[in-house]
Amino acid sequence: MPANGSTSPRAAARRKAARPSRSPRSDGLTTATQAPADTCVGIGWRQPHYESLLAQRPPLGFIEVHSENFFADGGIALAVLEAGREAYELSLHGVGLALGSAAGLDDRHLERLARLAERVQPRWVSDHACFARVGSGLHAADLLPIRFDDASLALMAGHVQQVQERLGRPLLVENISAYVGWGGDTLAEPEFFNALTSRSGCGLLLDVNNLFVNARNAGHEPEAAACEAMRWVDAIRPGSVGEIHLAGHCERDDGLVVDDHGSRVRDEVLRVYAHAIGRFGPTPTLIEWDTDVPALDVLLAEARRARALQP
């Protein structure tokens, strides 16, 4: 890698040749295609493993990073990311677009994301079905739940299309874990996502752990929560899921189940995942682990557990 962190022309050409193909759309965007089964499982690449991953180069389908951590123009973080991009397919996963915010998108945030995507050419770009921006631009720094109704759908579809037009690629939108909700929803959550993906051309980033956590917090015991999550999966339109997230969660003494990404994937969540793979086929899958980050070998073992459930 050159000293300034940029990618050499030869490396860029090699990376472009290795990049999966995309099919054209009539509106000038492209549609994401599923990765082959042998490249389907990846891990979240967090700072404690920057050096060890590049040194060991374990067999992985892809790596995923949080987009906002690499918005700076230049610097060591971006240089590390480019080194990772030379070794693996890359997914950019954001937490700041706030696609469901009535206050609109933050144009500066979107421009930074677009510059990063143009520079590192990720395989996927994703964010969450949530709101966070209010008033004159105050950001809650959290993934707050949206209402599931026609007005919310129209708002989010418009924002998704705005993002996709700027990026020149489809966006994946993730279902969130929600600890409060809105009264008066007129659409079931899967129905909302089916309409969103159909209307905007985006894909769904299906977080299986979030489905289970939400079902547990709705009062279901683990077995019933897994069944409820499977029913959610069954309601999703095949062909719309572009990526799946797997993570751990914790159960607090007060009964609240928290999506903390701080432990191994629970067996019940893996059952829901196996059900999803049975419905959607081989799908790029990420192991998320963001708190109490363990040794790299632990993440790789979790990736192998997921890979074993792929056909």
- In a domain, residue 225? The reply is yes
Query: What does the pLDDT read at residue 27?
Result: 38
- In a domain, residue 126? The reply is yes
Query: What does the pLDDT read at residue 15?
Result: 38
Query: What does the pLDDT read at residue 239?
Result: 95
Give CA–CA dist 210/133, Å, rounded: 22
- In a domain, residue 177? The reply is yes
- 291: how many CB neighbours lie within 10 A of its CB? 11
Give the range of the structural domain holding residue 241, as residue numbers without chain letter: 48-308
Query: What does the pLDDT read at residue 105?
Result: 92
Query: What does the pLDDT read at residue 144?
Result: 83
- In a domain, residue 6? The reply is no
Query: What does the pLDDT read at residue 75?
Result: 93
- In a domain, residue 131? The reply is yes
Query: What does the pLDDT read at residue 183?
Result: 83
How many structural domains is the chain composed of? 1
Helix, strand and coil percent figures for the chain, each rounded to 5: 45, 20, 40
- In a domain, residue 176? The reply is yes
Successive 10-residue mean pLDDT values, the chain, 311 residues: 34 35 36 46 97 96 97 93 97 94 91 98 96 65 84 97 98 90 89 98 98 96 98 97 96 90 96 98 96 96 96 86
Nearest CA-CA partner of 211 in 227, 229, 194, 225: 229
- In a domain, residue 40? The reply is no
- In a domain, residue 39? The reply is no
CATH number of 221's domain? 3.20.20.150
Phi, psi for residue 173 in degrees, rounded to 5: -115, 125
Query: What does the pLDDT read at residue 140?
Result: 54
Only one residue has tokens 């279902």, namely 175
Phi, psi for residue 11 in degrees, rounded to 5: -65, -40
- 6: how many CB neighbours lie within 10 A of its CB? 15
Query: What does the pLDDT read at residue 237?
Result: 96
